[in-house]
Structure 1
Amino acid sequence: MNSGADLLRIEDLGISFAIVGGPVHAVKRANLRILPGKVTALVGESGSGKSVISQAVMGILPQSARVRGRILFNDPENSNGPVDILQMPRDGHEIRAVRGSRIGKIFQEPMTSLSPLHTIGDQVGEVLKIHTEMSGAEIKDRTIEMLGLVGFPDPRRAYDMYPFELSGGLRQRAMIAMALICRPALLIADEPTTALDVTIQAQILQLLRDLQSKLNMAMLLITHDLGVVANVADEVVVIYHGEIMEAGPVEAIFRRPGHPYLKGLMAAVPHFDMKPGERLKALREVPVNVENLLGKRKPAKAASDTLLSVTGISKSFTTRKSGWFGKHAQIAVRAVDDVSFDIKRGECLGLVGESGCGKTTVSKILMRAVTPDAGSVIYNGDQGPIDILSAQGEALRTLRTKIQMVFQDPVSSLSPRLTVQNILSEPLEIHDRGDARSRLETVRSLLQAIGLDQRSINRYPHSFSGGQRQRIGIARALALGPDLLICDEPVSALDVSVQAQILNLLKDLQKELGLTYLFISHNLAVVDYMADRIAVMCGGRIVELAPRETLMKRPVHPYTRSLLAAVPFPDLDRPLDFKTLHASGASDTSAWSSQFREDGDEDALSPTDLGGGHVVLARRTADVRELRP
């Protein structure tokens, strides 16, 4: 094919890094193309070489990288034809003229990619300052126009704001504005939606698609989410361990996947059409062996079937707004508002909602890390009920062993200074369980239970992959033989294939050990796979609670419907309906029907029972027959 037809053409690209013990070959003889005005998706797991390829295209590879091959960029504004980016001097004038101006990049983590010391306007406008001769006033006008284009509700106000004042979705929009302000021919989007809620993700995808056609630019979308690919891409390139396995138009790739790796990736994605009892097919299964595990037992039949009973908990946080001359205005923000639910023994209750809806605050209240302003939490253990909020002494020590937590980020939740053995034996030492020999046996049993090699017992967390670290976090939570595990977004930081491993592991452990889960997530497809019942949270309140099948097939609340509509399917026949997704997000109450709105009257809403365990938050005056789907 004539390279003149391609905007970017990568030929025979090899990238290796020199380390002690021999070079690491991150990319091996990769060939791919990006057509003008089209979206090419580069799909693969963490460590497959996706981001390294994008760094090579931008000319920002580290000094230690050894590169061979060609990266031909055919800029429509350059009449001299294609130029080889790899032949340009590292920090020369040529590459700086291309980087940021003709090729823009959106990075994965908007919080760490934006400077906390400069306003949004300064950071977006700086790109124009570097690449154009515009005056300060022109730069400001163009920046405000761009902020409006990427969907800031008040661009002039946003111009003077700092990144910490913006939500995750708006920070990502600021990153997009920065990448697009010079109207590049090619935009590289490196996992642009990984850290975002499904509703915000859908908005960002729609925005990228609209801007791409409006500005007629090409896009290289780097992702591991096949649902995103099906909704946005024109061409797909699948990469595995630095080698390109399959490439072609999105229609051919999704309808007739050829390579076993791609078929495996597709089978690892949880979706709403799964049959009861059907398992996700992880690329690499984790063998679960809980034979010698401490606490392996089916729980004794207690007086109550309800393990945890939460009634009317509320929590407000006070923020201070500084005024002139030391005057402070105190503003109370209600994070959790009159939340009640029960968790039955052996079940998995899913708690779903967007960022900021109060899910994590609820989990912290259950763990005694945050004290609520009102309400009660009762744990019905084998020795009788314990009031979690007022427990002291021995009762509190018992609680600490019976309720454990699996955290969201497997990197920051494990101490980098402790070996795996230290991490897993620490809970046993704190609670005086056994002697040194029995603790070592327990640690070995835990490693066996989560499918990790016994040889990893003396390794440190940094030497493991994200999925392996999350398995160590799960093992630590199991060390004391708990009854209830609170899983706070345990797979949101993981690849699809590793996510399937962890979800299957959690399901197997629940079955083998008779565990009870509170599973917190913003991904409804994941919760659909794990949970028996699902509670949907919005603005600090539970707006709908129902058995899984009921909620997925017959959702009543408009917020639940918006969440379901925003989940991207890895299926070309079920595209996202961007028209039904509101620009202001799923929690915009103005889009809801009057039956579900307060309209100024705080006592207007109350939980309404629709039968069969299905409860929805609606106006007291609403007719139940009208609410039923």
Structure 2
Amino acid sequence: MNSGADLLRIEDLSISFAMLGGQLDAVRKASLRVLPGKVTALVGESGSGKSVISQAVMGILPKSATCSGRILFCDPATQERPADLLAMPRDGREIRNLRGNRIGKIFQEPMTSLSPLHTIGNQISESLKIHTDMSGRERRERTEEMLGLVGFSKPARAFDMYPFELSGGMRQRAMIAMALICNPSLLIADEPTTALDVTIQAQILQLLRGLQTKLNMAMLLITHDLGVVANVADEVVVIYHGEIMEAGPVEAIFRRPSHPYLKGLMAAVPHFDMKPGERLKALREVPVNTSNLLGKNKIVAADEALKPEILLSVRNVSKTFTTRKSNWLAKETAPATKAVDGVSFDIMRGECLGLVGESGCGKTTLSKILMRAITPDEGAIMLDSSDGPIDVLKADGPGLQALRTKMQMVFQDPVSSLSPRMTVQNILSEPLEIHGRGSGKSRLETVKALLKAIGLNERHLNRYPHSFSGGQRQRIGIARALALGPDLLICDEPVSALDVSVQAQILNLLKDLQKELGLTYLFISHNLAVVDYMADRIAVMCGGRIVEIAPRETLMEAPVHPYTKSLLAAVPFPDLDRPLNFSMLNPSGASDKRSWGKQFSDDGDVGVLTTADLGNGHLVLARKTADVRELVS
């Protein structure tokens, strides 16, 4: 292939880092290309070298990195011949002229990539100040135009806002505006949708695809989400441990994958067409051994004829937060936000109830109320534990101590939820010490049994969390939650920060533990495919209220509420024959009640909505006057 036809061509790139224990080879003889006006997706797990390659292209590798090979960039707007980016001085004039000007980059985490001390407009217009001769007024006009292009409804207002005032999706849009402000010929997007809700992810993908076509811009898309790749990419490059395993057009890669690693990645992704009982095929399975665990003896063979027993009953739980007044001298009261609004549901013993919804819908607030981390304004929560019923909201003293052993939580972020100063042995034995379980010797045996249950062994006992991978840290978090033999496990986005292959490991582990220990789960996620794999029933939450609840098959095949339909329509399938239907997406967001229709909207009238029973455990929030047949049709 002729290098002149490629906008970016990487040839035999090797990158290594000098470490205390020797040299770490992050990338080995990697070769790939990005064609003008096309999207090349670079796919692989965390640690495979994707982001390091993008740093090499931008010339922002750390000084400890050693590189060889060539990175040829030929920008038709400014160059006649390809320039080798690796041969340019690291902070020289040449690379600085390209960086942020002809090559833009969207970083993975918008909160840490934006300065908290500067306004959005200030940060976006900085590239114009460096690379153009525009006046201050022209820079502001161009920045506001770009903010409007990426989806800000009031660009002039957004220009003067700070990052903390924006939601995750809006921060990501600001990052995209910053990368595109100088009309680059190449955009590097490093996991641009990883931390976003499925509906916002679909909007960002639509935005990137539209801008890429409109500006005739090439894109190097770095991701581990094969659904995103199938909907956006023209060419796909698969990388594993720094080596390119497979590369080609998206059609060939998805329809005829040849490398075992790529086939393994595809089999690890949960999707809606899975048969009942079908398992995800993790690249590296986790052996489960629960023989010595607490709670093992609680399992009783369930009689199919018996009515399912309610483990947790939640009735009319509400929580309102009051925001701080901008001026403490002002007499008006600060506006209140109803985070949880009259929520009621039951969780049956031994089942997994999935709770889905966009960020800010009240999922995590509800989980904290269940765990007694937040006190609700009103409502009742009853737990029918193995030692008798417990009133969750009234428990105190010894009763609260007992409740803590019956309900445990697996947190979203495995890094911040484990103490960096404690070894694995200390982390897992801490719950046993707090609740006075056993002697020092028996606690050690329990800790060893917990490690076996999650697929780790005794040699990991004295290691600290930082020396484990993200998936291993999440398994340690699960082991800690199991230490006291709880009846109910609340899993708050337990796999959202993990690769698809590691995600498959954790999901299979949770399923195996549920079967072996008779556990009950409340599984909170914004990934509907993950919830579909894990849950028996699914509750959909929007604006602090549960708008629909139904058995998994019913909800996936015949959703009734417009919000549920919007969520399902926004899930990207790793299948070329089922592309995202961007016309189905609501431009103002799935939670915009104006698009729901009069049957489901309250128009601000309190008490207008009620829970309609559609039969077989399918409930939907609708107007009291709405006919059930009308809703289903």
Distance 1:561 1:111 in 2: 30
Task: Provide, for residues 382-417 of structure 1, a one-character-per-residue CA deviation record: whole Å limited to 9, x for no partner.
Answer: 232110001122221111001000000000000000
Provide the aligned length of Structure 1 versus Structure 2.
Answer: 629
The more displaced of 110-119 and 6-15 is 110-119
Question: Is 1:211 the counterpart of 2:215 in the alignment?
Answer: no
Give yes or no for contact 2:354–2:539 (8 Å, CA) kept in 1. Answer: yes
* Structure 1, unpaired ranges of 5+: none
Aligned to 1:453: 457
Q: Give the alignment partner of residue 443 of structure 1, picking from 435, 447, 463.
A: 447
**Cα distance 1:324–1:138, how it changes in 2: closer, same or farther (>3 A)?**
farther
Question: Is 1:488 the counterpart of 2:492 in the alignment?
Answer: yes
Aligned to 1:537: 541
SS in 2 for 1:458: coil
Distance 1:130 1:296 in 2: 64
Task: Provide, for residues 180-214 of structure 1, a one-character-per-residue CA deviation record: whole Å limited to 9, x for no partner.
Answer: 00000000000000000000000000000000000
Aligned to 2:435: 431
Q: Give the alignment partner of residue 599 of structure 2, picking from 595, 599, 606.
A: 595
Aligned to 1:331: 335
Distance 2:455 2:297 in 1: 20
Once the 2 structures are TM-superposed, how far is the Cα of residue 626 of structure 1 from its aligned partner? 1.1
Question: Is 1:275 the counterpart of 2:279 in the alignment?
Answer: no
SS in 2 for 1:297: helix
Distance 2:456 2:261 in 1: 23
Aligned to 1:108: 108
Letter in 2 for 1:129: K
Give yes or no for contact 2:602–2:609 (8 Å, CA) kept in 1. Answer: yes
Question: Is 1:397 the counterpart of 2:411 in the alignment?
Answer: no
Letter in 1 for 2:312: L
> Where do residues 556-567 of structure 1 align in structure 2 (5 Å cutoff)?
556-567=560-571
Distance 2:88 2:102 in 1: 15
Aligned to 1:358: 362
Aligned to 1:55: 55
Give yes or no for contact 2:107–2:190 (8 Å, CA) kept in 1. Answer: yes
SS in 2 for 1:321: coil
Distance 1:86 1:382 in 2: 64
Distance 2:290 2:421 in 1: 28
Aligned to 2:152: 152
Distance 1:480 1:13 in 2: 50
Distance 2:457 2:17 in 1: 27
Once the 2 structures are TM-superposed, how far is the Cα of residue 78 of structure 1 from its aligned partner? 2.4
Give yes or no for contact 1:320–1:329 (8 Å, CA) kept in 2. Answer: no
Task: Provide, for residues 342-381 of structure 1, a one-character-per-residue CA deviation record: whole Å limited to 9, x for no partner.
Answer: 0000000000000000000000000000000000000111
Task: Provide, for residues 114-171 of structure 1, a one-character-per-residue CA deviation record: whole Å limited to 9, x for no partner.
Answer: 1111111101011100111110000000000000011101111101111111111000
Distance 1:472 1:10 in 2: 39
Give yes or no for contact 1:34–1:220 (8 Å, CA) kept in 2. Answer: yes
Aligned to 2:89: 89
Distance 1:396 1:29 in 2: 58
Distance 1:202 1:304 in 2: 38
Distance 1:470 1:26 in 2: 24
Aligned to 2:324: 320
Distance 1:117 1:127 in 2: 17
Distance 1:267 1:584 in 2: 34
Letter in 1 for 2:187: L
Aligned to 2:185: 185
Letter in 1 for 2:550: A
Once the 2 structures are TM-superposed, how far is the Cα of residue 328 of structure 1 from its aligned partner? 6.0
Q: Give the alignment partner of residue 621 of structure 2, picking from 595, 607, 617.
A: 617
When the two structures are superposed, what TM-score results if normalisation uses the length of structure 2? Answer: 0.98
Give yes or no for contact 1:313–1:373 (8 Å, CA) kept in 2. Answer: yes
> Where do residues 191-230 of structure 1 align in structure 2 (5 Å cutoff)?
191-230=191-230
Letter in 2 for 1:581: L
Aligned to 1:288: 288
Aligned to 2:46: 46
Q: Give the alignment partner of residue 313 of structure 2, picking from 304, 309, 312.
A: 309
Aligned to 1:340: 344
Distance 1:326 1:418 in 2: 47
Once the 2 structures are TM-superposed, how far is the Cα of residue 79 of structure 1 from its aligned partner? 3.4
Give yes or no for contact 2:386–2:487 (8 Å, CA) kept in 1. Answer: no
Letter in 1 for 2:85: I
SS in 2 for 1:23: strand
Letter in 2 for 1:215: L
Distance 2:476 2:272 in 1: 29
* Structure 2, unpaired ranges of 5+: none
When the two structures are superposed, what TM-score results if normalisation uses the length of structure 1? Answer: 0.99
Give yes or no for contact 2:613–2:620 (8 Å, CA) kept in 1. Answer: yes
Once the 2 structures are TM-superposed, how far is the Cα of residue 292 of structure 1 from its aligned partner? 1.1
Give yes or no for contact 1:323–1:329 (8 Å, CA) kept in 2. Answer: no
